[in-house]
Amino acid sequence: MQIDKYKVLVTGGASGMGKQFTLSLARDGASVAFCDVNADAIAAVEAEAAGLPGKVKGFVANVAKEDDVVALVKNAAAALGGLNGLINNAGILRDGMLVKLDKEGKVQKMSLAHWQAVIDVNLTGVFLCTREFAAHCIETQTRPATVVSISSISRHGNMGQTNYSAAKAGIVADTKLWAGELARYGIRTGAIAPGFTRTPILEAMRPEVLEAALKPVPLRRLGEPEEMYLAAKFIFENDYFTGRVVEVDGGLSL
């Protein structure tokens, strides 16, 4: 189905890759509802989207909170006149080693709070949003419909990212699982696994640190948010694609 036929909900849609997804979808004629926890950022994206072919409407919501997600899907569908697309993009980082010795020889441990915060947003949020989106599509007999979830190259296991790697690996597993469960309702699923991508987090890194990170990348550069959008667009428009992950990582292997 062509992208301009979609009514898409984008989570974490006011910054980074999520902002790219929101604006690129609207430029291509799709209607877009997006959420974020930052009301000012939402207003800025809505202003930037003014005049684009597709309608854009933002909502404040925390994808880790069940009540927020239930209300988000209901309100997004009402604003767009239905939903048939979802991009699970919202995510956070709380990087750290599982355990390590500090300079004084004391053992430091990743806190349960840092583990749980990342799992809550990056994995439970995907579960809640996909569950509510799928329920909406089934209840309204909306088909076809498509779910795109953002995983990461870190799903293979990246040192210093115990929590993040676990969440991103879980997304890929659930994408495959949900493809089987939801196909009978006309819902396809797909995941994107970006490598190092130009976002505010990476752009804030010291140049020498970023240069070292890019050395193992065959293409020797960051991925661009627009390149991640092209992968999402492929999943949305290819009706024979489901249950798989598209790797967009410049050839990097972890």
pLDDT at 199: 86
pLDDT band for position 213 (50/70/90)? confident
158-164 average pLDDT score: 95
Closest CA to 227 of 202, 247, 241, 211: 247
Predicted model pTM: 0.96
User: Which tens digits make up the pLDDT trace of 45-65?
Assistant: 999 999 999 999 999 999 999
Over the chain, what is the mean pLDDT? 96
Q: What DSSP letter does each residue of 201-229 carry, written as one string?
A: HHHTS-HHHHHHHHTT-TT-SPBPHHHHH
Q: What DSSP letter does each residue of 101-169 carry, written as one string?
A: E-TTS-EEE--HHHHHHHHIIIIIHHHHHHHHHHHHHHHTT--SEEEEEE--GGGG--TTBHHHHHHHH
Other C-beta atoms within 10 Å of 130: how many? Answer: 22
CA quadruple 122, 128, 134, 135: dihedral, nearest 10: 180
164 in catalytic set: yes
User: Which tens digits make up the pLDDT trace of 108-148?
Assistant: 999 999 999 999 999 999 999 999 999 999 999 999 999 99
160-167 average pLDDT score: 96
Query: Are 238 and 30 spatial neighbours (Cβ–Cβ below 8 Å)?
Result: no
187-209 average pLDDT score: 89
Q: At what angle do helices 39-49 and 16-27 cross, to 10 degrees?
A: 30
User: Which tens digits make up the pLDDT trace of 14-23?
Assistant: 999 999 999 9
Residue 201 has pLDDT above 80, yes or no: no
CA separation for the pair 215, 183 (Å, rounded): 41
Q: Which CATH superfamily is domain 3-248 in?
A: NAD(P)-binding Rossmann-like Domain (3.40.50.720)
pLDDT at 203: 77
- Cis amide prior to 144 (ω within 30 degrees): yes
199-211 average pLDDT score: 81
pLDDT band for position 80 (50/70/90)? very high
Is the model more confident about 117 or about 211?
A: 117
Q: From the candidates 6, 164, 229, 240, give the one annotated as an active-site residue.
A: 164
Residue type, 148: V
Domain regions of the chain by residue span: 3-248
Q: How many alpha carbons fall within 13 Å on the CB side of residue 172? A: 18
Share of the chain above pLDDT 70, in %: 100
Among the ranges given (90-104, 110-124, 139-153, 200-214), the one the predictor scored with the smallest mean pLDDT: 200-214
Which DSSP category does 252 fall into? -
Is the model more confident about 158 or about 189?
A: 189
pLDDT band for position 204 (50/70/90)? confident
